[in-house]
A and B are shown apart, each in its own frame.
Chain A
Amino acid sequence: MFQILAQNALNALQLGSVYALIALGYTMVYGILTLINFAHGDIFMVGTYLSLAAAVFLLGLPLGLPLVVVFVGALCFSMALTAVLGVVIERLAYRPLRQAPRVSAVITALGVGLFLENFTLGILGPEPRHFPTLIPLQAWEIWGLTITPLQILIILGAAVLMVLLDFLVRRTLLGMAMRAISYNRLIVPLMGVPVDRVISLTFAIGSAIAAAGGLMYGLAYPVLDPYMGIRIGWWAFIAAVVGASAISGEPCWGALSWAQWRFSPRCCCRLPLTGTSWPFPSCSCSWSSSPRACSAGRYLRECD
C-alpha cells in the first residue's frame, strides 16, 4: 500500500514538475499584465518541437556527440528560440491591445494559440513525431520504488529552474520591477523603469521556461503532436490557478501539489516558512485567485 502511494507520488512529482514549468509562464504573464495568455500552452508545444528539431539535428551530425551535449544543445536552442517567440507574440499581438478591454486581449491570446497550432500542423503535418532517447533508459529499485534517471533529471531540473526564477523575482532589480508592475503598472515609469522592456523580458523568461518543460516532457512522454499544447497547457493552467501567482511574491509550487492531487486526492496547504504548498493531509485547501492577496502573512492565516 505504502509502495503504491509512494510510487504514484514520485510519478506525479515528475509530471507535476513539467506542469509547474509551464504554469510559471501563465502566472508570470498574468501577474504582470492580468492577461491570461492562452497561447502559452502552444508556446510550450513549439518549444517541444524546437528541442526535437535540435536533438534530431545534433544526433544526425557525423560527430558522434555525447548525449549530454545533445541534451544541453537542444535545451539552449529551444529555450532561446522560444524566448524570442514569446517576445514577438507580445510585441505583435498583445502590446497594441494594452489599453484595450481585457476581453480583446484574451481572445487575441486564443487566436495566437490557434495560429501556432495550425501553423505547426501546416508545416509538419498531423502525424505524431517521436522524440529521440537522450537519457539512458534504465531503472533503479530503491526500497521497492522504481526510480529512473530521467525522473531525477526532470524533478531536479525543474527545481533548479524554480529556485532561479524565485531568486530573480525576489532578489533582483528586474524582479522588483516585475512585482511593481503587477501592483501598479502606471506608476512604474516614474521610477525610471522601462516598463515595455520588463514586460518583454517577462514573456522571454516565461517562454524559455516552458521550452525547458517541453524538452523534459518530450523525453518523458516521447510522442509529440501539434495539439499537445492545448491538452497539457490546460492542466498547467489549472495548476497555475491553484498555485497562485509567481510574480506577486510567491513561487509556484502549486503545480506540483496539483499534479499530486490528481494522482491521489489530498489537499494542499502552504508551509509557513517558505510560502510553498505541498500535499499535507491534515490541512485544508487554500485558494488564492487574486495575485494581490499573496503577502506572506495572509498565507499563514489562510492555512490555519
Chain B
Amino acid sequence: MNLLEVTDLWIAYDRINAVRGVSFTVGQGEIVTLIGANGAGKSTILRAISGLLPAAKGSITFAGEDLLPLAAHLRAQRGIAHVPEGRGIFGNLTVLENLRLAAYAHTEAQFRQDLREVYRLFPRLAERRQQWGNTLSGGEQQMLAVGRALMSRGRLLLLDEPSMGLAPMLVREIFKVIQRLNQQGATILLVEQNANLALEVARRAYILETGEITLSGPSEELQHHPQVVEAYLGG
C-alpha cells in the first residue's frame, strides 16, 4: 500500500515553476530517495508535502487523505515528520525542550515513553539534554533533528540532506540510524545530493532534474544506469 502518493505536483515561487508535474509514490515501510543537483526542486517537494509551501497544482495524499487543504501543523500531527534542510534546531531551547516541543500534540506520558526511545537511539542527546540547541555540534544537531521527528511519532520521515556538512564518519552513523529506523517500520523519503549513499540505503529512487523526474526505478538498477553514473556518481 502506498503511504504517500504525489500526483502531477506543480510548485511555483512567484511565477517561476520550480517543480513541474512531478509524480511519485512512497510505499509503507520503504526508503525512497529523490536525487538531484542543487536547484532541482528536491527540498521544494518536501516543503510542499509538509505544508511549508503551497502547491500550485496536483495532489498529495497521505494514507488515503488529501493533504493539500491541511495547514502544516495539522499535517505534522497526522504523522508527516519533516527534518528540514539545515536541521532547524531551536538554538534558544535546550535539547530536552526541542524534543518536548516536537511532541506538542502528545500527552506527558506519551512524551516520557518516546523520550526513552530517542535517548536509547541517541545516547549523546541524553548527555546533552540540558544544553542549548545552538551549542550542539553539527552531528548532534542532526541527531536531535531526527530525534524530534521520532518524538512527533511521524509515520513518514522526510529527511532533507541529512549528510550535509557532516564528517564522513558521522554521515555513516546517521545513515545507519536511518536504516535501523526503517527496519523498525519507519517509512522514509530521503533527499540527498550524495547519490552514492542514498542509493545504498534506498529501495527505490527518483532522479530529479530542473523540476521534473527524468528517471526512476529500484536503486540497484539506477546505481549502474549510465546517466546516473555519469551525472551523480562521478563514474
Q: Which residues of A contact B (CB under 8 A)?
A: 173, 176-177, 179-180, 182-184, 186-187, 189-195, 248-249, 292, 294-295
Contacts and interface: CB of A to CB of B under 8 A. Distances in A.
Nearest to B153: A192
Contacts of B50: 190
A163 B235 CA distance: 63
B198 interface: no
Closest 10 CB pairs of A and B: A189-B72, A187-B88, A192-B76, A189-B73, A180-B90, A192-B77, A192-B105, A192-B104, A183-B90, A176-B101
Nearest to A31: B92
A180 B93 contact: yes
Given A173-B100, A184-B90, A295-B132, A190 B77 contact: no
Interface of A is mostly: helix
A176 B96 CA distance: 11
Interface string B50-61: 111000000000
B104 A295 contact: no
Contacts of A179: 90, 92-93, 97
A124 to B, nearest CB: 41
Contacts of A193: 73, 101, 104
A177 B92 contact: no
B82 interface: yes
B71 interface: yes
Given A190-B72, A292-B92, A295-B132, A176 B100 contact: yes
A104 B152 CA distance: 36
Contacts of B82: 190
B91 interface: yes
A191 B84 contact: no
Contact of B76 (A184, A186, A190, A248): A190
Interface string B89-117: 01111000100111011000000000000
A191 B71 contact: no
Contacts, number: 70
Contacts of A192: 73, 76-77, 102, 104-105, 152
B42 interface: no
- The number of chain B residues touching the other chain, given as a range, is 20 to 34
B104 A191 contact: yes
Contacts of A180: 90, 92-93, 101
B52 A189 contact: yes
Most buried by A among B88, B90, B148: B90
Contact of B93 (A176, A186, A190): A176
A182 B91 CA distance: 10
Interface string B61-83: 00000000001110011000110
A182 B134 CA distance: 14
B104 A177 contact: yes
A160 to B, nearest CB: 25
Nearest to B108: A173
A293 to B, nearest CB: 10
Contacts of A195: 73
Contacts of A249: 92
A294 B93 CA distance: 12
A182 B92 contact: yes
26 contacts: A173-B101, A173-B104, A176-B97, A179-B93, A180-B101, A182-B92, A183-B91, A183-B93, A184-B88, A187-B88, A187-B90, A189-B73, A190-B76, A190-B82, A190-B88, A191-B73, A191-B76, A191-B101, A191-B152, A192-B77, A192-B102, A193-B104, A195-B73, A248-B92, A292-B91, A295-B92
B52 A186 contact: yes
A195 B73 CA distance: 8
Nearest to A175: B97
A195 B134 CA distance: 22
Nearest to A248: B92
Interface string B139-160: 0000000001000100000000
A190 B84 contact: yes
Most buried by A among B72, B81, B93: B72
B46 to A, nearest CB: 10
Given A180-B90, A183-B90, A189 B97 contact: no
